[in-house]
Amino acid sequence: MIVIDYRDRRPIYEQVVERFQELILKNLLEPDSQLPSVRNLAMDLSINPNTIQRAYSELERQGYIYSVMGKGSFVAENIRLVLNKKEEILNELKQLAKAAEEYGIAKEELINVIMDGVREE
Amino acid sequence: MIVIDYRDRRPIYEQVVERFQELILKNLLEPDSQLPSVRNLAMDLSINPNTIQRAYSELERQGYIYSVMGKGSFVAENIRLVLNKKEEILNELKQLAKAAEEYGIAKEELINVIMDGVREE
DNA sequence: ATAACTGTATTAACCACACTAGTACAGCTG
DNA sequence: CAGCTGTACTAGTGTGGTTAATACAGTTAT
């Protein structure tokens, strides 16, 4: 479910946050379904519970999950999150298009990449 | 010429590296022209010479500049660098297009962003 | 009720990394 | 020779991520 990449320069808790964001946004985790407990996930990943706790706090702050004392942490349902994500992607694209223009890449070339789909990784 | 953003999470030396890459790739610094000396630039930016030294070492390693003992550091000319940068941008675009597809953004929408150019920031 | 599970909070320690400070050496140039 | 360049090294500082241990609060199953 969650994989930690120790070659990744970003902190562990951030990787955990990002991974759950992805799972939730793509509906791979249904709303109100329960997340692994702080201690369990920490065991699974062989890391400290505090690190998971930090990731969960962040996810809750961002509205991806909600936590209930004594019960657990659960997936929130929030349509706005998906919309925000889409907007974020389009913004990134805008930045990228700007950079491409500055380096003399034709718009046609960008469109080719998009239309070709993604074959290899 | 160079500006440091202390709110940026990335280290100073990395910001310096990136800024010079940009200046060189966009031909705002001509090949064989001299860069500010390690000590001077450090003074200008009110940071430690070692930090600039580190940035310059990295830039030399990547082929953006060359340094000569006793003389200074100079802009290298390397066509491949521009090609690499373009390739890098196209790769990022490919990744972005992939993500967009996964989140249900129509290709048409992406193309709109590209064709519209960049109006506001 | 009690055990076993949940989230939450706090404190201390460790470690890696960016950065600073100071000094020194090597080489070019006026 | 003085003053500039790049380069190297050591030592110290501060921050941030992570670990460790403990404790408290609340739910659930037996």
| pLDDT computed for residue A119 by the predictor | 56
| pLDDT computed for residue A116 by the predictor | 85
SS (H, E, C) A47-86: CCHHHHHHHHHHHHHCCCEEEECCCEEEECCCHHHHHHHH
**Position A5 pLDDT exceeds 60:** yes
Q: What is the pLDDT of residues A99-117, one digit of tens each?
A: 999 999 999 999 999 998 6
Q: Select from A92, A114, A117 the Cβ nearest to the Cβ of B111.
A: A114
| pLDDT computed for residue B116 by the predictor | 85
Closest chain B C-alpha to A59 CA, distance in angstroms: 19
- Which residue is nearest to the C1' sugar atom of C18, using CA? B11
Q: What is the DSSP letter of B121?
A: -
CATH architecture of structural domain A12-75: Orthogonal Bundle (1.10)
Mean pLDDT computed over every residue of chain B: 94
The residue ranges of every structural domain in chain B are 12-75, 79-115
> Touching check for B98 and chain A: CB below 8 Å?
yes
Interface of A with B in 6-65 (CB under 8 A): 25-26
- How would DSSP label each residue in B59-91? HHHTTSEEEETTTEEEE---HHHHHHHHHHHHH
- B7: number of CA atoms within 13 Å, CB side? 0
